[in-house]
Amino acid sequence: MKELQHINKYFYKYRYKLLSGIIITIIARIFLLFTPELIGEIVDTITKKINGEITLEVYKKELTINLLYLVGAAIVGGIFTFLMRQTLINVSRYVEYDLKNEVYQQYQRLSLGFYKSNRTGDLMSRISEDVGKVREYVGPALMYSINTLTLFIIALFLMFREAPMLTLYTIIPLPILSFFIYVLSKKIHKKSTIVQVWLAKLSTFTQESFSGVSVIKSYSIEDQINRDFDILSAESRQKNIDLVKVQALFFPLMIFLIGLSNVIVIYIGGLQYINGEIDSIGVIAKFIIYVNLLTWPVATVGWVTSVVQQAEASQKRINEFLKQDPEIKNKTIEPSKIDGAIEFKNVSFIYPDTNIQALKDVSFTIDKGQTLAILGNTGSGKSTILDLIGRLYDINSGQITIDGIEIDKLNLKSLRNSIGYVPQDAFLFSDSIKNNIMFGKEDATEEEVINAAKNADVHKNIKGFTNGYNTILGERGITLSGGQKQRVSIARAIIKEPKILLFDDCLSAVDTETEEKILKNLSKLIVGKTTIIVSHRVSSAKNADKIIVLDDGRIIQTGSHESLIDVDGYYKKLYLNQLTENNSNNL
Ligand SMILES: Nc1ncnc2c1ncn2[C@@H]1O[C@H](COP(=O)(O)OP(=O)(O)OP(=O)(O)O)[C@@H](O)[C@H]1O
């Protein structure tokens, strides 16, 4: 229960709702317990009539009154049972909502490294299945526990008052039932976890085959995929059958033990009646109802124990994430003013998850408002430089400063707010194009959105869609071409009017003509803004104030376009290659 203590704050938050739920549950159970008493009375009335102890008149009157009481108690009990679920189960839904929000907010707080070291499926299951298991502890388990406790205390009191020995015999099978249900519930839980795992495998496989449908079709491997699916789904079916086998034992076991208790009541009760130890047959009728009323709550003791154990395990998994501190810490609450002069001093960086050294002793400066272009082979560390400026990771050695202040001393939010970042793989949300652009500036006007799109040279494309800027992107919407996506992503960054603009190879999917146009538009927009352009093309870099060339994490060349084409090296070679390529394309 140590891990579940985390939930206590929610119990406190909803204490009034919980308290009323508990009171309502107790009332509901009290009314339920009128039933055996009234049935006992009815049986006794019938016996008296058979024995000729009462007149027909009295018989009818007593029977009618008791039957009316029975209906009345059932109605009131029913209403309170409804209210019981409405309060306690509602509280569990509120707690589930709060806990989901807590976990989600924590996910948002955690750094990129956390996402690299945990699989998406795991993140999803902690926020859905694990939180769901904890909800069962808060709602149904609590409800059934109060239920059982109330029923047990009152019923046992009434039963002992009536016939103590018979009560003892009657309740003998109940702990056995509870124990078996506990063992069974644990087995069911184990098997359903396996079923869940296979279900997850099946859905991941299906999802991937839908996303990669074009690859599957173009390689014509539908049959192979069908076979793989068949194997997975057969295995999943088997796990389900294993589960059903165990589940199928649940009710027979309960029915057997209820039957056993009933036999004991009738046999021992009958003997006691013959011996005159109990006064009436009505007592036996009462006890049969009591046994039936008590069986389900007793069975739930086993079930509740297993639910609490599962909830404890789930909360442990949730707490593991909740206790994690973001690796990237904000060290100042005070907002920082950022102008955009950037300096790298002997920066080295090793990715913590792969131990790959992406940067080795990198030093450069960019003055406020200047443009820097970074070129280099693939994997040479270009994107890493941009990630470090956005403090997605902290460096291992050296120093990165912005406006002369070490980057980790700046307010993290101010730093990131002052950056407009266009990543290599433009990610767009399943939302309208307009909202995707406005993501960079929530309160942007329509005019600002259009201007940003015009500057990213994507306005004409958007206008060409039937729903224009309201066109929905993503799975159920239209699919943009690689170049269009890149340009919407550029519009999203420039609408923010940030002090620092980071373009990570974001013109790779557009033709050189469009590249030219966008660069021309950008040259006006980036005045006064510090800009870094990562590229494989000289055409994107040539107008930059400074160019650096990276190779295997080290800077191998620095200079302007003019100075670099004068010296033999990577840049000149790339320039000449691309010049020849362009000339041959123009032929
Ligand atoms: N998130 C990451 N976790 C671990 N290693 C990484 C990560 N990102 C990049 N790397 C590694 O760091 C090195 C530098 O990668 P980086 O993405 O900075 O190169 P790049 O020059 O931008 O390459 P490209 O031109 O292909 O985009 C590579 O060896 C890469 O495998």
Pairwise CA distance, residues 91 & 465, whole Å:
47
354 Cβ below 6 A of ligand 1? yes
Contacts 24+ apart (CB under 8 A), 424-428: 424/383, 424/504, 424/505, 424/506, 424/508, 424/534, 426/485, 426/486, 426/488, 426/489, 426/506, 427/489, 428/473, 428/474, 428/480, 428/485, 428/488, 428/489
Pair 465, 521: CB distance under 8 Å:
no
Task: Give me the domains of the chain, ranges plus CATH numbers.
Answer: 3-322 (1.20.1560.10), 336-418+498-587 (3.40.50.300), 427-497 (3.40.50.300)
Q: Does the reported pTM lie above 0.90?
A: no
Bridge partners, 377 (sequence order):
none
Q: Which two tokens stand for residue 201?
A: 């495998």
Pair 341, 415: CB distance under 8 Å:
no
What does the angle CA 188 – CA 243 – CA 175 come to, to the nearest 5 degrees? 35
- The closest of 174, 144, 164, 152 to 262, measured between CA atoms, is 174
Q: Is the pLDDT assigned to residue 93 strictly greater than 90?
A: yes
Q: In the chain, how many H helices and how many E strands?
A: 25, 10
List pLDDT tens digits, range 24-47.
Answer: 988 988 888 888 888 888 888 888
532 Cβ below 6 A of ligand 1? no
Bridge partners, 399 (sequence order):
345
Alpha helices in 411-458 (DSSP H): 412-417, 433-438, 446-455
DSSP structure class, residue 126 = I
> In whole angstroms, how far apart are CA 418 and each of 219, 327, 391, 441, 447?
45, 21, 12, 12, 22
Residues in the chain: 587
* d(CA 392, ligand 1 centre) in Å: 13
- The closest of 276, 273, 207 to 475, measured between CA atoms, is 207
Residue nearest to atom 17 of ligand 1 (CA): 383
Indicate the pLDDT class of residue 173, thresholds 50, 70 and 90.
Answer: confident
379 Cβ below 6 A of ligand 1? yes
* d(CA 381, ligand 1 centre) in Å: 6
Give the distance between the most distant pair of CA atoms in the chain.
125
Summarize the confidence of residues 279-300 as an average pLDDT.
84
The residue to which tokens 């009434």 are assigned: 158
117 Cβ below 6 A of ligand 1? no
The residue to which tokens 């297993």 are assigned: 306
Indicate the pLDDT class of residue 386, thresholds 50, 70 and 90.
Answer: very high
Q: Which of 103-107, 304-308, 581-585 has the highest mean pLDDT?
A: 103-107
Q: Is the pLDDT assigned to residue 319 strictly greater than 70?
A: yes
List pLDDT tens digits, range 485-534.
Answer: 888 999 999 998 899 999 998 877 777 787 887 788 788 778 889 999 99
* d(CA 349, ligand 1 centre) in Å: 11
353 Cβ below 6 A of ligand 1? yes
- The closest of 437, 503, 504, 493 to 468, measured between CA atoms, is 437
Q: Is the pLDDT assigned to residue 484 strictly greater than 90?
A: no
List pLDDT tens digits, range 569-581.
Answer: 898 998 888 777 6
Q: Is the pLDDT assigned to residue 120 strictly greater than 80?
A: no
Q: Is the pLDDT assigned to residue 399 strictly greater than 80?
A: yes
State the pLDDT at residue 587: 53
